Chains A and B, each alone.
Chain A
Amino acid sequence: MFTSSMIMAILPELLLLTLGLLVLVFDLIWKKRDGRDLGWLTAGGLLFILVLSAFLAKPATSMEVFGGMLRYDMLGYVFKMLFIFGAMITSLFMMDSEKLGNRGESYILLLVATIGMNLMASAADLVMLYLAIETTSIPMYILAGFLRDDKKSTEAGLKYLLFGAMASTVMLYGFSLIFGFTGTTALAAITGFSLPLAIGVIILIMVGVAFKISLAPFHFWAPDVYEGAPTPITGFLSTASKAAGFAVLMRLFLGLFPLGSEYALMWTMIMAVLATVTMTLGNVVALSQTNIKRMLAYSSVAHAGYALVGVVSLSELGVGSVTFYLIAYVMTNLAAFGVIAAFSKIVGSDEISDYAGMSRRNYGLGLAALVAFLSLTGMPPFGGFVAKVFVFAAAVKADMIWLAVVGILNSIVGLYYYLTFLKVVYLHRMEGENEEAHPIPLSRPYAIALAVLSFAILFIGVIFGPWFNIASSAAQGLF
């Protein structure tokens, strides 16, 4: 029996599916095309879906639909909007990407992955959750290896597939333990862990999730895959896909071992240690990178660590601040990868040293880089500042001052390499060349996407109140 709330609960996914089919059809119909048509169709369609579902699909109360397979609540809603926004920006970046933007398959894969992420954020049953994760992962494996003639891209695809399959298997084993001992797969109904079971489940599931959000020591795939995958896909992988991992992490751990349950301290302590290792390792290794994509890969490892600080503080404030952090992070990192995609399309290089004189070659692109990297650093008036403050505030509130201190020490390391990159962009000159003779023209999709992102980063950094309220309303579903 269908009710209207059931439709509303999966409205974004339904629309995404429709859009995917439309793209498939038009891919066949539009024989002669300049390659951007499908991109505009995807981006415009996603904008439409974003606006429509933002108004229609907002849940009034939390409820379980489809026989307890999905939860229809604010947490899912906020993350879904975030994924759709990320996909929209990514499709703009994809349009002018060679051998990616003029192929219909790439947009369809992107849309399918987005559907998977949406389901990941709202799954309330282990089976559903596993299906959602695979629905996301498989298109992403293909997209990472999409450039068949490029050795690095092929390697990235294969590596991602192997690591991903491994992590999924381990997580699935954790799920099977839960089912075997408790006899149910519905998240809300699972109770009664014995100590060995709890240890097993926590470790096995954590491995799977840690892979998704690239926590150390499960981050090894990230730099290679990020470097090899087409840059717009890397941007999507490092933002939306990571945010989806966090949604799963919060749903699973806060659902299975909530605040006050006997094993809550155990997993938060493990995660606090993981967060420390992840932040430190990501930042320290990023220091020595000479390739901007690899540097951002390690930086995104570090950012997963910061966000995790909010999770382990195990409070409404914590979950709210993680959600806000992810909103800010998705926009910021997309902007950073957008700058890189636009730059490497013209220059054909991802080496940091080749960015010398970029601000003179394209003033707007330089400003976009400035906004993105300062926001990654955590400087006001950009989104990254408020996000970091709230995450650390959650840690201080939970009496984990040491974790906040670790985070702060790490953001100083981060400051160093982000500023070093900006120094190359603004200060260094092209050797023996006049920058004005080598402009970097920005095509329209890039210009639109980067302008939207820069504005959004500034907007959530200054008018952060309403955004944080939305983020914390997501937390209420979990407590």
Chain B
Amino acid sequence: MTFPILSVIIFSPLVGALIILMMPADRKTEIRVVALMTAVFALVLSLWLYLSYDQVAAGYQFIEKYDWMPSFGISLHLGVDGISTPLVLLTGVVMFTGVIISWGIEDRPREFFAFLFLLASGVFGVFVALDLFMLFFFYEIAVFPMYLLIAIWGWVKTREYAAMKLTLYLFIGSVVALIGALAMYFNSGFGTFDMLILETANFSPEFQKIWFLPVFLGFAVLGGIWPFHNWSPDGHVAAPTAVSMFHAGVLMKLGAFAALRVGIMLLPEGAKFWAPLILILATVNVVYGAFIAMIQTDLKYMIGFSSVSHMGLVMLGFATLTPDGMTGAGVQMFSHGVMTALFFAAVGMIYDRAHTRQIPELGGMMKALPWVGYTFIVGGLVSMGMPGFSGFVAEFPIFMGVWQVKPWVATLAVISIVITAAYIMLAIRRVFFGEMPKEFEGHITPIKTIDKVALGLLSGLMIALGVFPGIMVPMVESGVENVLRLLGGA
């Protein structure tokens, strides 16, 4: 029997959460250390998983299957392919950096880390689940801790409103998708929730056309698809730093990933039928998100809307249904996850010191916080899609794919790159250069060494992927091939 690495990855945060919950509340340092150890453990495992994934063999690997409820065809069926492996690594990275960034939380750190790890467990579960029922199970687990994390530790002004809005949106999306999943289960006649078997169900085209949209959009709500993106910037802003990182870095990928896995892979005919609509919605995401980001004065809102814009690129890539577009989308999920995590970490560090996130009020941060400044610029370059950074590796193929399908859409969507460059550069100039306002002097203390580790890791990953696309692109391609096979070798 081989080492069940996937279930260990899923359950290690859970075990960490349980240990933390049992510790006495006043032992804050010990709680943080246990949290960090759990996160390191998960990171090492996910890195190991990434490195030992066999790109040549491709397909689903590290498969584990345990019967959970045979009479209903539910099993704990786990496995990763070329698309989900990078996402597991991403989750490990964000979990690790998130714990580091949250070191300073003083209000009930025990509950905070426990809820955060419960969330992480759910996220890992969705990425590796090959059983539709389990996918929903983990998906909901990933959603509800968000409410508490935002409502309790969030930004005082908007947290109650934003937390409730976010939860309601995501819950509605997921239950709509759930009905679709149940319809698939009964329509297939196989009596199983196993997605590898449901893939072969050959649902009738009518069935697929009816159910693709609820399933895809239900999940894509979490991916921030227009016009259901509204919860996301509010949620980002209200959440505490580590939760923003998780939320924009990983959770939004969860939506996109599930929309791909359940929507496109199980209902390929429906996907072909509705692809033009998704293409248009995603284009609106990309362009509209970028425009709205440009007029924001709050740094966190700006990044929130830029996430909407970048996640639009992921959906755009999926909707092309071409090898280039989908590979780009796969890489973009990883690249954007790392990039937003970095952005939110940096903004969190600035806010903790300056107590404002208003771009016009900030300035001259480069001298006081050089680490934050340099890494933020790296993130900015990724965001703009500069060659040599991961953003280019991801966005270029997406636009190539879109061009193959609908050149005019590509032309439209490319505008976003210009706008992105505009708002990112404006923000960098105003926040990091120029004169530092008088009132900040003396307040801007240097960041701690562990913070540098987090920022360094995140920006290092983006540069590494930009310089050596070979460390990820072939893997994603192997996953995309499988999706295209289901689409009929398009």
Report if B168 contacts A (CB, 8 A).
yes
Stretch in contact with the other chain, from A91-99, A278-286, A415-423: A415-423
B147 within 8 A of A: yes
Taking CB atoms, residues of chain B closer than 8 Å to A415 are 167-168, 171
Count of A-B residue pairs with CB < 8 Å: 84
Q: What B residues does A118 contact at CB under 8 A?
A: none
Q: A145 to B144, alpha carbons, bound, how many Å?
A: 39
Would you call B164 an interface residue if the criterion is a C-beta within 8 Å of the partner chain's C-beta atoms? Answer: yes
Give Cα A206–Cα B416 distance, bound, in whole angstroms.
Answer: 62
Chain B residue, CB-CB nearest to A404: B179
DSSP class of B's interface residues: helix, strand, loop or mixed?
helix
Q: Is the CB of B69 within 8 A of A465?
A: yes
Interface size on B, residues (CB 8 A): 36
Measured between beta carbons, the chain B residues less than 8 angstroms from A380 are 136-138, 140-141
Determine the distance from Cα of A393 to Cα of B175 in the docked complex, in whole angstroms.
12
Tell me the bound Cα distance from A367 to B22 in angstroms. Answer: 12
Which of A363, A412, A420 is the one whose CB lies under 8 Å from B172? Answer: A412
Assuming the contacts A408-B175, A472-B71, asked whether A416 and B168 have C-beta atoms less than 8 A apart, the reply is: yes
A374→B143 CA distance, assembly (Å)? 12
Within 8 Å by CB of A412, from B74, B160, B175, lies: B175
Does A469 sit at the interface, judged by CB under 8 A? yes
A170 at the interface (CB under 8 A from B): no
**A392–B171 contact, CB under 8 A?**
no
Contacts of B185 in A (CB 8 A): 393
Closest residue to A370 on the B side, CB-wise? B148
A406 to chain B, nearest CB (A): 11
In-complex Cβ contact of A392 among B168, B172, B179 (8 A): B179
The answer to whether A385 and B68 have CB atoms under 8 Å apart is: no
Complex interface: chain B residues within 8 A of A419 (CB): 147, 164, 167
Find B178's partner among A389, A412, A420 (CB 8 Å cutoff): A389
B267 at the binding interface (Cβ < 8 Å): no
Of residues 420 through 479 on chain A, the ones whose CB sits less than 8 Å from some CB of chain B are 420, 422-423, 426-427, 464-465, 468-469, 472
User: Smallest distance from the beta carbon of B88 to chain A beta carbons, Å?
Assistant: 20
How far, in Å, is A423 (CB) from chain B's closest CB?
6
Q: Please give the distance in Å from B137's CB to the nearest CB on chain A.
A: 5
Q: Which among A374, A416, A465, A469 has the highest number of chain B CB atoms within 10 Å?
A: A465
Chain B residues near A45 (CB, 8 Å)? none
CB–CB A397/B186 < 8 A = yes
Rounded to whole angstroms, the CA-CA distance of A255 and B209 in the bound complex is 40
* Interface: B415 (CB within 8 A): no
How many Å lie between the Cα of A392 and that of B179 in the bound state? 8
Is B144 a contact of A374 with CB atoms below 8 Å?
A: yes
Chain B residues within 8 Å of A392, by CB: 178-179, 182
Residue pair A379, B144 in contact (C-beta under 8 Å): yes
Chain A: interface secondary structure?
helix
- What is the bound-complex CA distance between A377 and B170, given in angstroms? 14
Residues of chain B within 8 A (CB-CB) of A422 are 147-148
Q: Which chain A residue has the least Cβ–Cβ distance from B153? A: A427
**CB-defined contacts of A381 to chain B, threshold 8 Å:** 137, 141
Tell me if B72 is interfacial: C-beta within 8 Å of chain A.
yes
The reply to whether B71 and A468 form a contact with Cβ atoms under 8 Å apart is: yes
Q: Bound state CA distance, A311 and B55, in angstroms?
A: 50
Chain B contacts for A427, CB-based, 8 A: 151-152, 160
In the docked arrangement, what's the CA distance between A412 and B69, Å? 27
In angstroms, how far is the closest chain A Cβ from the Cβ of B116? 15
Q: Pick the most buried of A380, A392, A408: most chain B CB atoms within 10 A of its CB.
A: A380
Contact A389 B136 (CB under 8 A): yes
Distance in Å: Cβ of A378 to nearest Cβ of chain B: 8
Query: Which residues of chain A are near B160, meaning CB under 8 Å?
Result: 423, 427
Complex CA gap A411/B176 in Å reads 12
Give the contact-size bracket for chain A. Answer: 20 to 34
Q: How far is the CA of A401 from the CA of B175 in the complex (A)?
A: 13
Q: Which of A396, A412, A464 has the most CB of B within 10 A?
A: A396
Contact flag A426-B151 (CB < 8 Å), given A381-B137, A408-B175, A412-B168: yes
Within the complex, which residue of B72, B136, B144, B176 is in contact with A468, where a contact is CB–CB below 8 Å?
Answer: B72
**When chains A and B are docked, how far (Å) is the Cα of A161 from the Cα of B168?**
40
A465 contacts B68, C-beta separation under 8 Å: yes
Within 8 A of A (CB), among B173-213: 175-176, 178-179, 182-183, 185-186
Q: Contact between A363 and B137 (Cβ–Cβ < 8 Å)?
A: no
Q: For residue B167, which residues in chain A have a CB less than 8 angstroms away from its CB?
A: 415, 419
**B residues less than 8 Å from A426 (CB atoms):** 111, 148, 151-152
B25 sits at the interface (CB 8 A) = yes
Is the C-beta of B70 less than 8 angstroms from some C-beta in chain A?
A: yes
Complex: chain A residue closest to B160, CB-CB: A423
Contact of B137 among A377, A385, A405, A416 (CB under 8 A): A385
Contacts of A379 in B (CB 8 A): 140-141, 144
Q: Which parts of A323-368 form the interface with B (CB within 8 Å)?
A: 359, 363, 367
Query: Does the CB pair B182–A393 fall under 8 Å?
Result: yes
Q: Which residue of B lies closest to A379 (CB)?
A: B144
Cα(A464)–Cα(B133), bound, Å: 12
In the complex formed, the residue of A with least CB distance to B184 is: A396
Write out the residue numbers on chain B whose beta carbons fall within 8 Å of the beta carbon of A367. 21
A464 touches B69 (CB 8 A): yes
Which residue of chain A has the shortest Cβ distance to B72 in the bound complex?
Answer: A468
Do the beta carbons of B74 and A465 come within 8 Å of each other? Answer: yes
A-B contacts, 23 of them at CB < 8 A, read A363-B25, A377-B144, A380-B138, A381-B137, A385-B140, A393-B185, A396-B182, A396-B183, A397-B186, A404-B179, A416-B168, A419-B167, A423-B160, A423-B163, A426-B148, A426-B151, A464-B69, A465-B69, A465-B70, A465-B71, A465-B72, A465-B74, A469-B69
Q: Which residues of A contact B (CB under 8 A)?
A: 359, 363, 367, 374, 377, 379-381, 385, 389, 392-393, 396-397, 401, 404-405, 408, 411-412, 415-416, 419-420, 422-423, 426-427, 464-465, 468-469, 472
**Chain B residues near A (Cβ < 8 Å):** 21, 25, 67-72, 74, 111, 133, 136-138, 140-141, 144, 147-148, 151-152, 160, 163-164, 167-168, 171-172, 175-176, 178-179, 182-183, 185-186
If A389-B133, A393-B182, A393-B185 are given as contacts, then 10 extra A-B residue pairs at C-beta distance below 8 Å, sorted by A number, are: A363-B25, A374-B144, A396-B179, A396-B183, A405-B179, A408-B176, A412-B168, A423-B160, A426-B148, A465-B67
